[in-house]
Amino acid sequence: MTVQLSGLVIHLVERCSELGTTLTPSHRQVVAAAVLKVGSARPDHALLTLADMGGELGSRLVQRALQALEVPPEDIQCYGKAALMGTGVPLEYGAALLHPRLGRAVRACLPGANTIMPSVAKRGAPGASIDIPLHGVTDMWSFDHFDTVSLTVADAPAPDEIVVAVALADRGRPLARIRPV
């Protein structure tokens, strides 16, 4: 199976206020995504190729996301991952990219990160939006860190493409105040 990197997309969201309240410091989230063109192959071979690629992509996307946020790895408090398959790509290809190795590679780049990464995978046409769930890197039950960041790539995924993304945030939700009951 051939998998070709078509491009990288970096999407930075910086909220300076929330419902009229100035946020100091601002709330920042970043999504680093790779657009991959996938060739045809036997399903078992394709899944192994994509699983291997997941680890490489996890490390690469974290490094690009950290550059965009301009923070050291230990400052990351939230993360998540996603895959958006083109209309001609099996959903299982997204699972192969996201689950066996990508999360482990991301955690290895972020000191103290030890929770599983929340994820989402779906199929869509070019310009489809994907909402990437986020939660805490050290406490997956920290309600203040439950959040979402959205990504849209205007020209991807084409029918034979996958958009695979890693999302990071340097703090929990703006004005978060939910406490466990």
- pLDDT for the residue numbered 53: 94
For 10-53, the pLDDT digits (tens) are: 999 999 988 888 888 899 999 999 999 998 766 678 888 999 99
Tell me the two tokens of residue 129. Answer: 């939006």
Tell me the whole-structure pTM to 2 decimals. Answer: 0.93
Condensed to tens digits (0 to 9), the pLDDT of residues 82-130 reads 999 999 999 999 999 999 899 999 999 999 999 999 999 999 999 999 9
Judged on CB neighbours under 10 Å (0-12, 13-18, 19+), 141 is exposed
Could you state, in order of their start, the residue ranges of all structural domains in the chain?
3-169
What pLDDT, on a 0 to 100 scale, did the predictor assign at position 176? 77
CA distances from 110 to 16, 56, 61, 79, 125 (A): 25, 15, 12, 10, 32
pLDDT at 162 exceeding the cut of 90: yes
Average pLDDT, the chain: 93
Q: Tell me the CATH number for domain 3-169.
A: 3.30.1330.110
> With left for phi above 0 and alpha for psi between -120 and 50, is residue 142 left, alpha or beta?
beta
**The pLDDT value given to residue 180:** 57
pLDDT at 43 (0 to 100): 63
- Tell me: pLDDT of 170 over 90: yes
Strand stretches in 21-146, DSSP E: 21-38, 78-85, 119-123, 129-136
Record the tokens describing residue 25, joined without a space: 């410091």
From CA 136, how far away is CA 79, in angstroms rounded? 7
